[in-house]
Amino acid sequence: MIRHLFTLIWNRKRSNFLLMAEILLSFFVLFVVSVLLVNNYYNYRQPMGFRSDNVWEFNINAGQDTVARRAKLRLLVQELQATPGVVAITGTSSNTPFSFSTMNTDEYRYQGKPVGGYTDRYDADDDMVKVLGLNVVDGRWFDRRDDAAGRRFPVIINQAFAERMFGNEAAVGKVLTNEKKDEEWHVVGVVEAYRSGSDFAANEPAIFHRKVLQDTSRFVQQQVPELLVRVQPGSGAVLEQQLVRKIKSVTKGWSANVNTLEENRRDKMKFLVTPLAALGLVGLFLIINVALGLFGVLWYNISQRKAEIGLRRALGATGNGISGQFLGEMLVVTTLGVLGGLVLAVQFPLLGVFGVASQIYVQAMVLATVLIFVLTAICALQPSRIAAGIQPAVSLREE
């Protein structure tokens, strides 16, 4: 019977061509949406590499006050640190977790070889490991030993960087250079991951440069670093007011905005999910249109083939057999359309269109294939049932 269905579809290839083209395009749209969905889901399942709970971000604005910033900052940190409820404080660059700020570069080389692609760069001090609960898997985090590092600056990388740059070799102890070889960085530790962009951020190479918190001269344009403060669980508005008051009293005029990292995380999530949801809705409407189109074509097909249905019933087909045949024909047409779509889809990993892992494309192909088969089967079900209910004597007389 399968051979018979293929023969029938092949002999009707002209009338089935548009249907196949429609299925091919639908598959393609589903594939692209699936790549995005699977990729985001895959990223979502990856470890973040840090803990954002009970961490507050203080965005401090020193305004026009340029006098003794370093000393004021040192004092401020001491005062904040001494406040009951505060566990640890770290200063970092503006690309804090879940912020809309990024810093990346492709300058790192090892024995002349680049890491490939861009590396996210972060400024960190010795206490960031405590504040963000970073998971050091090899070597160590920054500490006072790095004060005497000289020109070979200490850096810490994540595993994605280590794997891409050094493969299976140990990363700790390796020395990175820039392209001109006039700067050197000494890898002192490796963290598991640091996906600070969002829950959907890919686990891309990341590197941490040591910046001593109190040394404002080492931050860009003498900016005051962002302060991340880990507080005791359950700390709330009272502690927040205390800390803001201390900032104002110690610095005499600096202001501060406070957000929790969890709030930032939710905001970033909304920002990313909104366009994805919009894209999903557009895709959904497209698929509904395609489904209605398929439904209409099948309905028309059946009304045009009533005599054939009657004949097949006369020759021994059961009602269910007729239903199965129409369903089967639709699945054969779908198979041919999907095969065409797969030929196009395979180009994506070959050309690296979205820059995601090959397995993401494969999973998206499987997902899109399953979805398109389910869609066409649902569309074919009702018309096929109608075909099964056609009375053979009536349909044979109609011609």
Partner 1 sequence: MNSTTAPNNRFASPEIGLTTAPATAMLKLTDIEKVYQTKTIETVALNRVNLTINKGEFVSIMGPSGCGKSTLLSIMGLLDEPSSGQVEIAGRPVTAYSDKELAHLRNQKIGFVFQSYHLINDLSVLDNVELPLLYRSSVSGKERRQRAHAALDKVGLSARTNHFPSQLSGGQRQRVAIARALAGNPELILADEPTGNLDSVMGEEIMDLLMGLNRHDGVTIVMVTHDEQQALKTERVIRFFDGSQVS
Residues that bind partner 1 (CB under 8 A): 1, 3-4, 7-8, 11-12, 307-308, 310-321, 391-393, 396-397, 399
16/96 with CB nearer partner 1: 16
225/310 with CB nearer partner 1: 310
Given a contact cutoff of 8 angstroms between Cβ atoms, the answer to whether 235 and 28 are in contact is no
Given a contact cutoff of 8 angstroms between Cβ atoms, the answer to whether 74 and 86 are in contact is no
Whole-Å CA distances, 306 to 10, 311, 318, 322, 386: 20, 9, 15, 11, 11
Rounded to a whole number of angstroms, the minimum distance from the CB of residue 6 to partner 1 is 11
Whole-Å CA distances, 78 to 70, 128, 166, 351, 362: 12, 16, 40, 54, 53
16/52 with CB nearer partner 1: 16
Rounded to a whole number of angstroms, the minimum distance from the CB of residue 14 to partner 1 is 10
Rounded to a whole number of angstroms, the minimum distance from the CB of residue 21 to partner 1 is 19
Rounded to a whole number of angstroms, the minimum distance from the CB of residue 391 to partner 1 is 7
15/359 with CB nearer partner 1: 15
7/257 with CB nearer partner 1: 7
Nearest to 207 by CA among 183, 228, 231: 183
362 Cβ neighbours under 8 A, 6+ residues apart = 349
**Residue 23 backbone phi and psi in degrees, to 5:** -70, -40
Helices (H) and strands (E) in the chain, counts: 11, 13
Residue with tokens 């090892």: 110
Rounded to a whole number of angstroms, the minimum distance from the CB of residue 308 to partner 1 is 6
13/113 with CB nearer partner 1: 13
Residue type, 286: L
Rounded to a whole number of angstroms, the minimum distance from the CB of residue 317 to partner 1 is 6
Given a contact cutoff of 8 angstroms between Cβ atoms, the answer to whether 79 and 242 are in contact is no
**Token pair in block for residue 334:** 């779908």
133/321 with CB nearer partner 1: 321
Rounded to a whole number of angstroms, the minimum distance from the CB of residue 307 to partner 1 is 6
